[in-house]
Amino acid sequence: MSHDALVHDDVDDVAVVIHDVAAGENVRAVNLEGGEVTVVRAIEAIPLGHKIALRSMATEHKVIKYGRVIGRATQNINEGAHVHTQNVKSIRWA
């Protein structure tokens, strides 16, 4: 079975999709070794290379990718949502 997204670290809140994802699509996320991490249903369209939320996150949650905090949620983010500049403020450009 093929996969749809990559998770860089077991503690990550997000995965990176490897193709355009349509709303309602089940997204199979694997780790870098190819082991299955989870399957999450996309609640909105997510473009290639963008992030999908693996779990719901509250406003001000410190979003983790690569096993490190990459930013903070500027609004509640539901599982399966597109995670990008519309709902996360980067800590790199604060």
Q: Where are the domains of the chain?
A: 5-90
How far apart, in whole angstroms, are the C-alpha atoms of residue 39 and residue 59? 23
Spell out the CATH class of 5-90. mainly beta
Q: Is pLDDT larger for residue 2 or for residue 28?
A: 28
Single out the residue of 11, 10, 9, 45 nearest to residue 27, CA to CA.
45
**39's tokens:** 């399957």
State the pLDDT at residue 86: 94
Burial class (CB in 10 A: 0-12, 13-18, 19+), 59: exposed
Give 3-state DSSP helix, strand, coil % of the chain, rounded to 5.
Answer: 0, 45, 55
Task: With cut-offs at 50, 70 and 90, classify the pLDDT of residue 94.
Answer: low
